[in-house]
Structure 1
């Protein structure tokens, strides 16, 4: 807001400074051509009309000063006036083109935001006896989504969720994330067995991915006092007990990421871990644990996860972890970072 106000008054400040300098220096040096800086700066942030008004103000300053120094009808002053008029006209054209690009960019952003809301829908804050919190930080400037993905759905088979990370960045990663989410949303309702959901995702990605592209993912299903996990090459989630114990829900056997199923003939099997009253489980992507500080130290998520016990509201607790993560990185993250927290009441 302050920067916008500064840009708004900058043309007038510059022209005033030029006028005072010209008065003090006299006609010998001739600073009046620098009045063209006024409309030039005005075109950066102002409208076409405002740029024209600044140009008129530049002429209103130039003419009295030229009269004061008896330069009103000289070739030097006529050239200065012509320069101010020409620069003002060019600045008006530049302002018009800038405003046109800004309107086009605003329209593109609105379309992109609508597409993002369809792709990554807000997760429900409650699902069965669970309270859900989400944190998503995209590495792409001005973007709300990237290559990380998540979904939480309540199905006839129970509460099921997906957390994943697409290899790569940019639009291609977003497109792959859309394929994974679409396949999961169908399979989560259709398939009774959790492993079958993983098979459906693998088949869908095999059709659309090429080369050595892959997606790490965890598919989970919540049961009474337990949670089933199918881990396809994804970082193991953290289990946080009410007494502060933090442990990794590591799978008994390592599995390949989605999209590389042809390299392994064995089916990825689900495994169960205890998830009872007061327990929390934190799913995350590698952008969280691979965030480095200035010394190159990775973010110690296992140590900082106890922050989740300090807040009654899961979203407030997860926001605290996100703030700690950004403070550790000391600036924008180099990779997308998603965290999904389930807390059992």
Structure 2
């Protein structure tokens, strides 16, 4: 897409330059429009890379010289002045384009380094659970996003945050770091999971702009019990050791952090060997070249691999195959497994891995929202 936009802009500057030259020739030697040829290089400097800007600038200068030569006005003082200004502007446009590209690359490198420091790949065992987390950025030239995850081993259980900051670049990374810091503090000082979300929202007021927000899921995992607060985020995927997978969609959705959420706690029973996949929209909205979104049901064989590290890498590989390697958004994944009492069985692609119900949402997964037999929204 970037190459298409650059090609279209190059074509536009060429057409504009040719039109200026044609008008100059039509008006005769008494009128000089060489100054209008500056438009191409200056526009290119703001939208194109240095090499493309240099091509546009050189072409504009050649057009000016060619028109002046055709009209035999090269020796005129005003024409020489116009061409000199054009040459100087072309040189400046090329320099400015190169400088801006260098600054963009530097900022992208800083943002990427900050993001890697915040979202380091991790695997650990704590509180009767194994945890594996991964972050994968989009294409190298893409702008860094605001995906985030964090963990806190508290007396109430393992608390997990996964979220996505609206926006891109260093500002998104800054907000991610702020959200993680506030979560880690609140996770240890608030016993109620809804209070954690409310306190994080309150503390982020000074950090968030008027249009900023963070979609997030805060989970608390303790023996036999999962508690969730969903603030406008994609629902986690519950993968029971025995039974069909379920999307844990909240019965009463709330707004993202930064938009005054009214979080309610959702409770789900867990058994040894159960797994929980938390993810950001880079996975949920991954598309193939035809625009078809990734079916989460297609992740089940990957998620059921016995080793947790192998499983989360297989999820990323499945996504990459679906998108043909054209990843448009960052992806953060957290995969949690309760300590199993026996080895987990691996689902092969030919094994029916989902249970279809009348309440099944798009994607082929059963939806547990508002189902009294398996989950309930409670005021913890």
C-alpha RMSD of the superposition:
2.6
Partner secondary structure for residue 151 of structure 1: strand
- Which among 292, 312, 318 is matched to residue 297 of structure 1? 292
| Separation (CA, whole Å) in 2 of partners of 1:106 and 1:233 | 33
1:283, distance to aligned residue in structure 2 (A): 0.3
> What does residue 330 of structure 2 align with?
336
Native 8 Å contact 1:155 1:188 kept in 2: yes
CA 1:207–1:274: 2 relative to 1, 3 Å: same
Native 8 Å contact 1:246 1:306 kept in 2: no
> What does residue 167 of structure 1 align with?
166
Query: Could you report, residue by residue, the CA deviation over 1:89-140 in whole angstroms, capped at 9, with x for unpaired residues?
Result: xxxxxxxxx9xx99xx89995x767644542344342122111112211125
1:276, distance to aligned residue in structure 2 (A): 1.3
| Separation (CA, whole Å) in 1 of partners of 2:150 and 2:316 | 19
Q: Indicate the larger mover: 184-193 or 138-147.
A: 138-147
1:146, distance to aligned residue in structure 2 (A): 3.1
Residue 271 (1) aligns with residue 266 (2): yes
CA 1:115–1:197: 2 relative to 1, 3 Å: same
Native 8 Å contact 2:190 2:196 kept in 1: yes
Query: Could you report, residue by residue, the CA deviation over 1:255-292 in whole angstroms, capped at 9, with x for unpaired residues?
Result: 0001111xx6xx31111112211111100111101111
More helix by share: 1
Q: Indicate the larger mover: 159-168 or 300-309.
A: 300-309
Greater Cα radius of gyration, structure 1 or 2: 1
Native 8 Å contact 2:286 2:293 kept in 1: yes
Partner secondary structure for residue 318 of structure 2: helix
> What does residue 282 of structure 2 align with?
287
1:304, distance to aligned residue in structure 2 (A): 2.1
Residue 147 (1) aligns with residue 146 (2): yes
> What does residue 158 of structure 1 align with?
157
Native 8 Å contact 1:116 1:144 kept in 2: no
Instruction: Mark the runs of 5 or more structure 1 residues left unpaired by the alignment.
Output: 1-97
Native 8 Å contact 1:238 1:302 kept in 2: no
Q: Indicate the larger mover: 296-305 or 247-256.
A: 296-305
Native 8 Å contact 1:140 1:146 kept in 2: no
Query: Could you report, residue by residue, the CA deviation over 1:236-268 in whole angstroms, capped at 9, with x for unpaired residues?
Result: 00011223511111112010001111xx6xx31
| Separation (CA, whole Å) in 1 of partners of 2:255 and 2:107 | 41
| Separation (CA, whole Å) in 2 of partners of 1:340 and 1:305 | 15
Native 8 Å contact 1:291 1:333 kept in 2: yes
CA 1:251–1:123: 2 relative to 1, 3 Å: same
| Separation (CA, whole Å) in 2 of partners of 1:179 and 1:335 | 21
| Separation (CA, whole Å) in 2 of partners of 1:142 and 1:275 | 41
Query: Could you report, residue by residue, the CA deviation over 1:32-90 in whole angstroms, capped at 9, with x for unpaired residues?
Result: xxxxxxxxxxxxxxxxxxxxxxxxxxxxxxxxxxxxxxxxxxxxxxxxxxxxxxxxxxx
Partner secondary structure for residue 204 of structure 2: helix
| Separation (CA, whole Å) in 2 of partners of 1:292 and 1:276 | 33
| Separation (CA, whole Å) in 1 of partners of 2:170 and 2:259 | 21
Native 8 Å contact 1:282 1:341 kept in 2: yes
Native 8 Å contact 2:287 2:322 kept in 1: yes
> What does residue 72 of structure 1 align with?
none
Native 8 Å contact 1:147 1:168 kept in 2: yes
> What does residue 322 of structure 1 align with?
316
Superposed, 1:253-264 pairs within 5 Å as 253-261=252-260
1:340, distance to aligned residue in structure 2 (A): 0.7
| Separation (CA, whole Å) in 2 of partners of 1:107 and 1:204 | 27
Native 8 Å contact 1:283 1:341 kept in 2: yes
CA 1:243–1:140: 2 relative to 1, 3 Å: same
CA 1:279–1:114: 2 relative to 1, 3 Å: same
Query: Could you report, residue by residue, the CA deviation over 1:210-253 in whole angstroms, capped at 9, with x for unpaired residues?
Result: 22221100111112211100100001000112235111111120
| Separation (CA, whole Å) in 1 of partners of 2:138 and 2:117 | 20
